[in-house]
């Protein structure tokens, strides 16, 4: 005889965390596959995209815009600097800060993959339809607040 008063957790199949994980996996897979030929990771791609779009910025801002934690960015930036994809220079106004910028080699990686990245991005938009796609983005952003 069950205990009707005892609350139970919702089925894992309908769990929001798991749905988010699966969606992320599925969206990222073709991007990772595309980038493999250039030997860069999806995280490095995000860093390049942010720097290319918004210009040089300090490491904390870059981490925030790239959706990376600062310790991860530290390692990623070291690797990218070693490969000549970005530069780092100390900010003379505040020597705790460093300014990170994309190099020509880094921009070239962006240029090389822009066309295919657009196609991949479009495929997801088309799968859901324009309206649903925008709804999805809006709902995801609502999860971010506070």
Which residues of the chain form contacts with its own copies (CB under 8 A)?
7-28, 31, 42, 46, 49-50, 53-54, 65-67, 110, 114-115, 117-118, 121, 124, 127-128, 132-133, 135-137, 139-145
Compose the 47-66 pattern: x for residues touching DNA by CB under 7 A, - for all others. Answer: -----------xxxx-----
Looking at beta carbons only, is 76 or 109 nearer to DNA? 76
Query: Is residue 75 within the footprint of DNA (CB under 7 A)?
Result: yes
Query: Is residue 98 within the footprint of DNA (CB under 7 A)?
Result: yes
Looking at beta carbons only, is 15 or 78 nearer to DNA? 78
CB of 21 to its own copies, least distance (A): 5
52 and 102 Cβ atoms separated by less than 8 Å: yes
User: Exactly one of 78, 122, 123, 132 binds DNA (CB under 7 A); which one?
Assistant: 78
Continuous segment of H or E residues that includes residue 102: strand 98-102
**Which span sits near DNA by CB under 7 A: 7-15, 32-40, 115-123, 137-145?**
32-40
Looking at beta carbons only, is 53 or 90 nearer to its own copies? 53
Helical ranges in the chain per DSSP H: 16-36, 42-54, 59-66, 70-82, 104-128, 130-142
∠ Cα 67 85 77 (to 5°) = 45
For 83, the token pair is: 């490969």
Exposed, middle or buried: residue 19 (CB in 10 Å: 0-12, 13-18, 19+)? Answer: exposed
Q: How far is 131 from 127, CA to CA, in rounded Å?
A: 11
CB of 129 to DNA, least distance (A): 26
């Amino acid at each position: 005889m069950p205990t009707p008063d005892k609350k139970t957790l919702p089925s894992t199949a309908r769990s929001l965390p798991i749905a988010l994980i699966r969606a992320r996996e599925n969206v990222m897979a073709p991007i990772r596959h595309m980038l493999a030929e250039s030997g860069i990771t999806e995280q490095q791609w995000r860093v390049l995209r942010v720097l290319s779009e918004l210009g040089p910025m300090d490491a904390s801002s870059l981490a925030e815009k790239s959706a990376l934690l600062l310790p991860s960015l530290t390692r990623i930036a070291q690797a990218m600097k070693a490969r000549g994809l970005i530069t780092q220079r100390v900010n003379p106004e505040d020597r705790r800060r460093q300014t990170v910028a994309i190099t020509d080699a880094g921009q070239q990686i962006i240029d090389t993959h822009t066309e295919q990245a657009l196609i991949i991005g479009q495929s997801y938009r088309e799968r859901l339809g324009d309206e649903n796609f925008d709804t999805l983005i809006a709902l995801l952003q609502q999860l971010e607040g506070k």
